[in-house]
Structure 1
Amino acid sequence: MNNVRPSCERIAPLVPYDPKYLPAEAYLSANENPQDVPEEVRREINRRLKAMSFNRYPDPLANGLRDRIAEANGLERECVLLGNGGDELLFNIALAWGGPGRTFLNLPPTFSVYEQNARLTGTEIVNIPRRDDHSIDEEAVLARVAEGGIDYLIVASPNNPTGKLASEEFLLALLDATDALVMVDEAYFEFSRMTMRPYLARHKNLVILRTFSKAFSLAGVRLGYILGDPAIVTEFIKVRQPYSVDAVSQIIAETVYENRASFERGIVSIIEERARLIEQLRKLPEVKAYPSDANYILFRAEGAGEVWRALYDRGILVRDFSAAEHLTDCLRVTVGSPEENERFLTALKEVLIERRKA
């Protein structure tokens, strides 16, 4: 038959997630670490890969890596779960705590995948927009969860794409105010130096999401993990894909995690470059740069879509949010290498000068 039944009705209005990863000379759009894995760590990875049996299935739960992460965080193995990037685990929370008749509380503007996953699973969405300065409307959030009926919520800290941490006091008040599962997305915590890890034992409804993609330069490997109460982790295991973390990724991540101190100098460099970039952006009268605790900076410039195009024409790819709700005229630039950052600043100044003359 030259025909096919339509897909599920609820996905009809959805637009596929598009990271807008285009060819460029300077990639400053995807919050990647500008530095690759150190050469000595790569050599150790290659040595271990040579001994791997490609014909055997991987450890289904990546228990070797679970043990290393658990030990580093003062936890038991049962408190840790690996996923195929943080994205798999974000989908799994929607599968396990969402669904028809259940409700997700969202804090836009934030990572769009949170809402996308809720829609995919038929979960009702309650949006509480952030304030004009992109801070969380804490009173409104606490008032809404006090009404009940929220099954889960995700608080990115630092928030993507706006860059700022959620306050520790707010997160603790939120955990006390609701029995909803509260995921704190700490994908960028190595750059913020703030984590909710000390509060896991006191709050069964807290789960923390982290990733190897950013600070540990493994965006191409796809590996994320959660920390949480064993009962919470068990629910995630129920809905995860079998063997979702392949053997190659497990070996690479184990080696990187064992050598994570090797990445510290690069992390410090990114934090220093972030401060320099913000300082330089704030010297430009046409630009409003927002504070950031992550490895990227959100900034506003009139006619941002045209600014994005002019930067891209100069070989520099940043992320364009100018048409997104709550982010009018906003662009996001990843903190790159010092050379990339200087190239971006020079190009942006050129573009702004040209616009002044036009």
Structure 2
Amino acid sequence: MNKVRASAPQLQGLVPYDPKYLPAEAFLSANENPRDVDPEIRKQAMREVKKAALNRYPDPLANELRDMIAEANGLERDQVLVGNGGDELLFDLALAWGGPGRTFLNLPPTFSVYAANARLTNTTVVDIPRNPDYSIDEEAVLARAAQGDVDFMVVASPNNPTGLMASPVFLERLLGATDALVMVDEAYFEFSRQTMRPQLAAHENLVILRTFSKAFSLAGVRVGYILGNPGVIREFVKVRQPYSVDVVSQAIARVVFANRAKFEPGIEAIISERARMMEALHKVPGVTPYPSDSNWIFFKIADAAEAWEYLYAHGVLVRDFSSAPYLENGLRVTIGTPEQNDLFLRNLRDFALRP
């Protein structure tokens, strides 16, 4: 038969996630760490990889890595789950707490994958837009959550792509106002230096998402994890893909996590460069940068799409949000090395000052 029936109805109108990963001299679009894993740590990781039996399935739950993460966070193994990057765990959240007749509370603008996962699982999406400065409309969120029909929500802290942390006081109020599962996405918490980890014991409905992709330079390896109540973790285990974290990724992640203190100088360098970049952006005519607690800065500029093209033509790839709802005329630049940042700033100034 020379035809195929239509795909599932919930796919209609969904646009595939496209990070526009293009070749460039300065990759400043994907919030990656600009520095690769230190050569000595890489050697350790390769020694571990060589020990792996490639003909055998991996430990389904990556228990050795789970134990390391649990110990570092003062938790037990059953309070940790490792996934194929944060992306798998975000989809597992929608599988376990979403579905027909269930509701996801979204705080746009935020990471678009949250709402996309909800729609893929036929979950109703309720939007509470952020304030004009991209802070959370806290009272509106609390009022909507108090209605009692919300099943789960994700609060990115810091928020991607706009940069600000969620107030810990607000998050405590939210956790106390609802029995919905509240995932706090802490993918960038190493740059904000703030975490909700101390609140886990007091709130059964709190789950925290983290990743190796950003601060630990492992975006190419795909390892993320969640911290939560044992009962919550069990529900995630029911829907996760078996063997989703392969033996190579587990081996590399164990070595990197054991050496995590060695990444601190690089993290500090990014935080320092973020401050320098923010100060410099304030001096570029027509540019409005927004405060950031992460490893990027979101900014607005007239003719943003044209600015993106200009930057890319001069070797700098940033993320274009200029046509996204709530983010019009917006671009996001990842904090790179000083040399990459200087290249970006020089070309952005040239664009802003063009005749």
TM-score range, shorter chain: over 0.9
Displacement of 1:352 after TM fit?
Answer: 1.1
- Partner of 1:105, secondary structure, is strand
- Quick one: which amino acid aligns to residue 60 of structure 1? P
How far apart are the structure 2 equivalents of 1:40 and 1:213? Answer: 19
How far apart are the structure 1 equivalents of 2:10 and 2:253? Answer: 36
Correspondence for 2:277: 277
How far apart are the structure 2 equivalents of 1:200 and 1:146? Answer: 21
How far apart are the structure 2 equivalents of 1:281 and 1:42? Answer: 35
Correspondence for 1:316: 316
- Quick one: which amino acid aligns to residue 303 of structure 2? G
- Quick one: which amino acid aligns to residue 267 of structure 1? I
- Quick one: which amino acid aligns to residue 322 of structure 1? S
Correspondence for 1:344: 344
- Partner of 1:24, secondary structure, is coil
Correspondence for 1:207: 207
Correspondence for 1:268: 268
Displacement of 1:160 after TM fit?
Answer: 0.1
The aligned runs of 1:95-106 (5 Å cut-off) are 95-106=95-106
Displacement of 1:3 after TM fit?
Answer: 1.5
- Partner of 1:267, secondary structure, is helix
- Measured against aligned partners, the alpha-carbon deviations of 1:177-231 in whole angstroms (never above 9, x if no partner) come to 0000000000000000000000000000000000000000000000100000000
How far apart are the structure 2 equivalents of 1:142 and 1:190? Answer: 27
The aligned runs of 1:4-23 (5 Å cut-off) are 4-23=4-23
Runs of 4+ in 1 over 6 A off after TM superposition: none
- Measured against aligned partners, the alpha-carbon deviations of 1:136-158 in whole angstroms (never above 9, x if no partner) come to 00000001111110000000000
How far apart are the structure 2 equivalents of 1:217 and 1:207? Answer: 23
How far apart are the structure 2 equivalents of 1:223 and 1:51? Answer: 19
Correspondence for 1:178: 178
2:181–2:207 contact (8 Å) kept in structure 1: yes
- Quick one: which amino acid aligns to residue 265 of structure 1? P
Correspondence for 1:333: 333
How far apart are the structure 2 equivalents of 1:52 and 1:139? Answer: 51
2:285–2:353 contact (8 Å) kept in structure 1: no
- Quick one: which amino acid aligns to residue 32 of structure 1? E
- Partner of 1:233, secondary structure, is helix
Correspondence for 1:193: 193
How far apart are the structure 1 equivalents of 2:138 and 2:49? Answer: 48
Correspondence for 1:232: 232
How far apart are the structure 2 equivalents of 1:114 and 1:248? Answer: 28
- Partner of 2:42, secondary structure, is helix
The aligned runs of 1:1-358 (5 Å cut-off) are 1-354=1-354, 357=355
- Partner of 1:308, secondary structure, is helix
Gaps of at least 5 residues in structure 2 are none
Displacement of 1:25 after TM fit?
Answer: 1.1
Displacement of 1:347 after TM fit?
Answer: 0.8
Displacement of 1:121 after TM fit?
Answer: 0.3
- Partner of 1:147, secondary structure, is coil
- Partner of 1:130, secondary structure, is coil
- Quick one: which amino acid aligns to residue 173 of structure 1? R
How far apart are the structure 1 equivalents of 2:3 and 2:308? Answer: 42
- Quick one: which amino acid aligns to residue 145 of structure 2? V
How far apart are the structure 1 equivalents of 2:46 and 2:250? Answer: 13
2:216–2:263 contact (8 Å) kept in structure 1: yes
How far apart are the structure 2 equivalents of 1:16 and 1:50? Answer: 36
CA RMSD of aligned residues (A): 0.5
Displacement of 1:63 after TM fit?
Answer: 0.1
- Quick one: which amino acid aligns to residue 247 of structure 1? V
- Measured against aligned partners, the alpha-carbon deviations of 1:309-336 in whole angstroms (never above 9, x if no partner) come to 0000001000000000000100000000
Count of residues in Structure 1 that have an aligned counterpart in Structure 2: 355
- Partner of 1:99, secondary structure, is coil
How far apart are the structure 2 equivalents of 1:337 and 1:87? Answer: 26
Displacement of 1:268 after TM fit?
Answer: 0.2
Q: TM-score, normalised by structure 2?
A: 0.99
- Partner of 1:82, secondary structure, is strand
- Quick one: which amino acid aligns to residue 141 of structure 2? V
- Quick one: which amino acid aligns to residue 175 of structure 1? L
- Measured against aligned partners, the alpha-carbon deviations of 1:114-172 in whole angstroms (never above 9, x if no partner) come to 00000000000000000000000000000111111000000000000000000000000
2:285–2:352 contact (8 Å) kept in structure 1: no
Displacement of 1:55 after TM fit?
Answer: 0.5
Displacement of 1:285 after TM fit?
Answer: 2.5
2:70–2:77 contact (8 Å) kept in structure 1: yes
Q: Which moved more, 1:344-353 or 1:240-249?
A: 344-353
- Quick one: which amino acid aligns to residue 142 of structure 1? L
Gaps of at least 5 residues in structure 1 are none
